[in-house]
Structure 1
Amino acid sequence: MLRAAAPVVFVVSRDTARAVSLKDSLKNTDVQHIPDAETLLREAHVQPPHVALLYTDTPGVPLWEVLPMLRQRSELSATQWLAVGSHGLGEMLSAGADALISDTTPLQALSLQVNNMLGRAQQHHDHQERVAQLQRKMDNWEHEERIRDQLVHMLVHDLKNPIAAVMGLLEIVEDDHRVPGDSRELITVARDEAQHLLHLTVNMLDVRKIQAGKMNLKRELVFSPMFSEVIELARGDVGSGLRDREVSAQIAQNMSPVSADPEILRRVMANLLSNALKHTTSGGTISLSVQVVGDQVHVSVRDNGEGIPAEDIPNLFAAFEQSRLTLHGRFDTGMGLAFCKMAIEEHGGSIWVESQRGKGSTFTFSLPYAQDNEEDDFAELLA
């Protein structure tokens, strides 16, 4: 087993005896004599010391003139500088000395001071090493994130086109009157599953975009009629599974507008409807409401399914999390609710869920009213 290298102590002085006596006093320490400032500049670069004793009576270039240059070197950032002398200590302190001590101090006290500074130097070195380790981990994490982003991006874009093509072909076959009724039902299921797969891939990409701050909202003023349009489009996105559910919608009329991206709202509504669909059985009910609450608009999607276990709710909006209580075997990444949370928060709103076992769940998100200047712009446009 390799032994750790002994700590290095420089004694910068014209008197070699000072280094010899200190070496005898400090055990397991490599004490080196440095005769002048020029040698110090050279040797400190070759072998950075843990502690350097700078005697102010050292001949040649004054040590307080070279100390600022030494302190700027990155390899000497952990070095402790001890100024020793009976004069010039003020200059040494201004130059950056860590401690001052008289040259008449007994050897035992000087050794104690050096040992204390060795301890501080070791602590500083350990902290630097810890920071370096964390930086390496951060670099590795950022590298992995970049690779993950590239992989997700390539995966989604490589999947979107063939999925869309499959959906289009299935729709053509579904509309063909020559297809028997029972086969048409199977085609409808296949088209719905292809639609679900498309939602999974797009949600995955959008979650990564929002996390990277690359989701740019295309805001518009959204009034009551547009909420109705968004809900109808979202129902179409979910597919034929909703035909077996009783779906109703109540939208407050003459609401003040919210500033939102209609396409993103459509995606949020489609995800919440899809979530309600998978937690209800055939014949279940799903109700949507858009209501004014204070200075916000609250949009809710309620179902009468089995509800969500209380222990699942805290992590329900996290990516790759979903309730363990689902009424179908369809695989889900949990990205849909994660996307909803991030998208609504990008709009300045919030989203939450209320659920009771055996009685269903209600997902609600809030959107703040548009600011006055945005309403003024709309009024000017109408004028």
Structure 2
Amino acid sequence: MTLPDAQTVFVVSADRARVRPLASLLPQATVVHVGSAEALLREAHVQPPAVALLYTDVPGVPLAQVLPMLRQRAELAGTQWLAVGTKGLGALLSAGADALISDTTAPEAVALQVGNMLARAQQSRDLHGRVAALQRRSDDWDHEEKVRDQLIHMLVHDLKNPIAAVMGLLEIVQDDARVPDDSRELLKVARDETQHLLHLAVNMLDIRKIQAGKMNLRRELMFSPMFQEVIALACGDVGSGMRDRVIRTEVESNLSPASADPEILRRVMANLLSNAMKHTTGGGQIAVTVRAVKDAVQLSVKDDGEGIPAEDIPNLFAAFEQSRLTLHGRFDTGMGLAFCKLAVEEHGGAISVQSVRGHGATFIFTLPLAHDADDDDFVELLN
């Protein structure tokens, strides 16, 4: 967009002699004579002025009819319009003039007024320049974000299939009776690490989706049996390491239905269970509880592991913030907990953690109960 020239002043008047005194008093400006409203329409398009003096005695088409059209032009957004005369000033003011002055005013006073308006026009030009620069930066950032999202999407999809294939092959070899026990243990570790790699890749993709508002939840009415099923599936997703832990599940019976996406909930539970497994040793205790609270269903995952240092808790749910070594020497990126937070909040719930170093940790999150419309759907199913 062409911005007004910060040093150009139009004198729109039938009298060309009005240009000379203003030009001598404003040597820093280029003062141009414009003889009619029709000429103003043409000249303003070619060279947008910073300030335009509109004398009310211009013959022909009234300037009050032209000014509203000029003010709608994007290239004249920063132009200052000064109405000059003794009659017809009200019409120009109503049409959009920025200021009024009498045509009997001393040239020095007129020059002072125009100088002030030139300064405001320069400020407007500078502001437009900064806005344009910020818009360019925003556009560049948006483009980079789209490229990054596409790269992550392609990377995750290209990784998922080969990782899943490796997991399947490791499981087949692990179950082969010909494999020695010491090698079987190594295969178990390899399969668990491959499972962890798959979780990292999928979490990375889903975090980007949620942040971009592109994860559409497929909500269902979830009752007590469905929570039990989701927890069982999540335990299976975590891997064979769960066999070395003591898992206790307690789901309150006859829960009021919650509104949630079962697949996303399964992922949240898998991440919390995986987190509990990583921070406990063999034989560790992990308790999963589902119970009713006010206006929500509360789920918790409690372990008796190493606990969380107090300084790590404030940033625990931010990806890459709480990175630290686990009990098993694995570097924890925090992607899983970041996904849990975003997914729970996307449901309209909240997640928190309670922990004392050396005494385990308890992750607690809530899911909202089904709305009236969802309850009506359930009633229809019963009928």
Q: TM-score range by the shorter chain?
A: over 0.9
Distance 1:34 1:375 in 2: 73
Aligned partner of 1:224 in structure 2 is 224
321-330 or 254-263, which deviates more: 321-330
Quickly say closer, same or farther: Cα 1:15–1:379, change in 2 above 3 A.
Answer: closer
**Mapping of residues 147-186 of structure 1, within 5 Å:** 147-186=147-186
SS of 1:358's partner is coil
192-201 or 213-222, which deviates more: 213-222
**Mapping of residues 251-262 of structure 1, within 5 Å:** 251-262=251-262
Distance 1:145 1:123 in 2: 32
Instruction: Give how far 1:328 is off.
Output: 3.3
Deviation digits for residues 77-99 of structure 1 (CA, Å, limit 9, x no counterpart): 10001010111112211221111
Distance 1:35 1:169 in 2: 87
Note the aligned Cα RMSD (angstroms): 1.9
Distance 1:251 1:350 in 2: 19
Aligned partner of 1:45 in structure 2 is 45
SS of 2:48's partner is coil
Aligned partner of 1:35 in structure 2 is 35
Quickly say closer, same or farther: Cα 1:369–1:68, change in 2 above 3 A.
Answer: closer
**Contact 1:308–1:325 (Cα < 8 Å) also in 2:** no
Counterpart code for 1:134: L
Counterpart code for 2:303: D
**Contact 1:307–1:355 (Cα < 8 Å) also in 2:** yes
Any unmatched runs of 5+ in structure 1?
A: none
Distance 1:116 1:166 in 2: 74
**Contact 2:6–2:49 (Cα < 8 Å) also in 1:** no
TM-score (norm 2): 0.93
Counterpart code for 2:334: G
Quickly say closer, same or farther: Cα 1:61–1:193, change in 2 above 3 A.
Answer: same
Distance 2:196 2:255 in 1: 32
302-311 or 141-150, which deviates more: 302-311
Quickly say closer, same or farther: Cα 1:268–1:38, change in 2 above 3 A.
Answer: same
**Contact 2:6–2:121 (Cα < 8 Å) also in 1:** no
Q: Say if 2:257 is the partner of 1:266.
A: no
Quickly say closer, same or farther: Cα 1:379–1:38, change in 2 above 3 A.
Answer: closer
Instruction: Give how far 1:32 is off.
Output: 1.8
Aligned partner of 2:290 in structure 1 is 290
Deviation digits for residues 255-283 of structure 1 (CA, Å, limit 9, x no counterpart): 22212222211111100011112222333
Any unmatched runs of 5+ in structure 2?
A: none
Distance 2:376 2:56 in 1: 75
Distance 1:324 1:254 in 2: 40
**Contact 1:309–1:325 (Cα < 8 Å) also in 2:** no
Counterpart code for 1:98: D
Aligned partner of 1:346 in structure 2 is 346
Quickly say closer, same or farther: Cα 1:99–1:184, change in 2 above 3 A.
Answer: same
Count of residue pairs the alignment pairs up: 379
Aligned partner of 1:191 in structure 2 is 191
SS of 1:327's partner is coil
Counterpart code for 2:148: R
Counterpart code for 1:187: L
**Contact 1:312–1:324 (Cα < 8 Å) also in 2:** no
Aligned partner of 2:365 in structure 1 is 365
Quickly say closer, same or farther: Cα 1:376–1:41, change in 2 above 3 A.
Answer: closer
Aligned partner of 1:23 in structure 2 is 23
**Contact 1:204–1:335 (Cα < 8 Å) also in 2:** yes
Distance 1:44 1:274 in 2: 68
TM-score (norm 1): 0.93
Deviation digits for residues 243-266 of structure 1 (CA, Å, limit 9, x no counterpart): 333322222222222122222111
Aligned partner of 1:314 in structure 2 is 314
Distance 1:266 1:301 in 2: 13
Instruction: Give how far 1:212 is off.
Output: 2.5
Counterpart code for 2:55: Y
Distance 2:74 2:85 in 1: 27
Aligned partner of 1:82 in structure 2 is 82
Instruction: Give how far 1:18 is off.
Output: 1.6
Distance 2:61 2:30 in 1: 25
Distance 2:67 2:285 in 1: 79
Distance 1:237 1:329 in 2: 21
Distance 1:91 1:6 in 2: 27
SS of 2:287's partner is strand
**Contact 2:6–2:118 (Cα < 8 Å) also in 1:** no
Deviation digits for residues 185-223 of structure 1 (CA, Å, limit 9, x no counterpart): 111111111111111111111122222222222222222
Aligned partner of 1:213 in structure 2 is 213
